[in-house]
Amino acid sequence: MKTTSLSLLKASTVVIALLGSAAIVATIAAPDVAFAKEGKGNGGGKGNGGGNGNGGDKGNGGGKGAKGSSGDNSSAGNKGGKKGADKSRGGRKAGKSKAGNSKSKSSRSASGKGGRFSLKDIFSGKGKTRAAKTSKKGATTNDGKQKPRTHKKPSKTVIVEESIRPAVRTKGNRMAALLGAHPSELGALNSANASATALANASPNSRVGRIGNYRDTVLAGEPLRAELAEQLEELTGLEPPERTVPEIEEDLQTALDDVQTNQERVDELEQELEDAGGTDPEIEEQLEEARADLDNSVEEAEDLDDERQAAVEYEEATEEVQDLVDLVEEQDLTEREALEAAANKPVTDAVEEEVKSLLGL
């Protein structure tokens, strides 16, 4: 009994092995099926692919008809032991099936490179894809013509020779910046800030009184300065003489002598003409020449006299201006002495100018 059971078991094993081999050979040796034109094949992927073959083989390759739209993948169900239930292979051209195979391979290879989806790949940069290259072609118009490219001109570098920033504000006393003297240099002369009433009522020997005396001295010299300015303006309007007055007077005296000589000659010829009865062509001709010489000498003498007068006027104006300049210089000295009498520090031109500004002079 044991021998019979063992023999049956061996026979069953051999049969199962033969059936499996026959199924594999049938799958490999199956001829290619023609695809239908224009993609009208069903492509439903209805192959059984259950993989219920004997020996526990549950269908190699899954065989569940997944990706049934691509007929090539649906045929994987035949590996489970069934032969030709997939009718979708007839619905596509051979060329399209090759393209589908290449696309599926590329998709499988692309998904199989990285294995599982991982956030680490994205944040580490492995999952980044290259940006699509932009076309270098220019834009086109509505009629299909390509617009010419416009190249931006490089911006020119402008060299600023002078800074446009405002000047740095000067530090220190504003009055010192304007007048050139610091209030500390004035010392006691800062009392010039006193009011006009205080200056008028102050004691003559007090500081304010002495400053008031200085103010009165300056005011007394104002008419003198005004006269000097007027004389200078008048002198500027005069034309300087080319010669001195003595030189002009010497030529003038010679011209006057010629006038006298020509006048005597005219008088003499007139007497001769009268003695000749009033008509003598020769005397009349000489008389006419003598009168012309007299007129020329008189005109020359008059011009020299005008020149002398202009030279004298210019010299007198110059002398008057010089006299006024001397008086103004004396006035300046008097004013400086009055200011020094009121000061307790050395008085400079800048200090005096500042005191005049404080006094409104």
Q: Which of 60-64, 93-97, 226-230 has the highest mean pLDDT?
A: 226-230
**Residue 131: alpha-carbon gap to chain centroid:** 40
Nearest C-alpha neighbor of 354 from the set 213, 195, 187, 237: 187
Per the structure block, which two tokens stand in for 321?
């201006």
User: pLDDT for 168-195, tens place per residue?
Assistant: 444 444 444 454 566 677 777 777 777 7
Gyration radius (Cα) of the chain, Å: 67
pTM (two decimals): 0.43
Q: What percent of the chain has pLDDT over 90?
A: 24
The pLDDT assigned to 162 comes to 56
Segments making up each domain of the chain, as ranges: 32-97, 176-359
Classify the C-alpha dihedral 81-84-86-92 as positive or negative.
Answer: positive
Q: What are phi and psi of 262, to 5 degrees?
A: -65, -35
User: pLDDT for 118-163, tens place per residue?
Assistant: 555 554 555 444 544 444 455 555 555 555 565 555 555 656 555 5
Q: Are 49 and 59 in contact (CB under 8 A)?
A: yes
The pLDDT assigned to 264 comes to 92
Q: What percent of the chain has pLDDT over 70?
A: 50
Kindly indicate the confidence band of residue 303, based on its pLDDT and cuts at 50, 70 and 90. Answer: very high
Compare 281 and 101 and report the one with higher pLDDT: 281
CA distances from 359 to 30, 197, 350 (A): 128, 12, 14
User: pLDDT for 26-35, tens place per residue?
Assistant: 454 444 444 4
DSSP symbols for 61-72: T--S--STTSHH
Strand-pairing partners, residue 140, are 146
Per the structure block, which two tokens stand in for 244?
């001195």
Compare 193 and 76 and report the one with higher pLDDT: 193
State the virtual CA torsion across 338, 342, 345, 348 in degrees, nearest 10: -30
Q: What is the mean pLDDT of residues 308-333?
A: 92
158 class by beta-carbon count within 10 Å (0-12 exposed, 13-18 middle, 19+ buried): exposed
Strand-pairing partners, residue 146, are 140
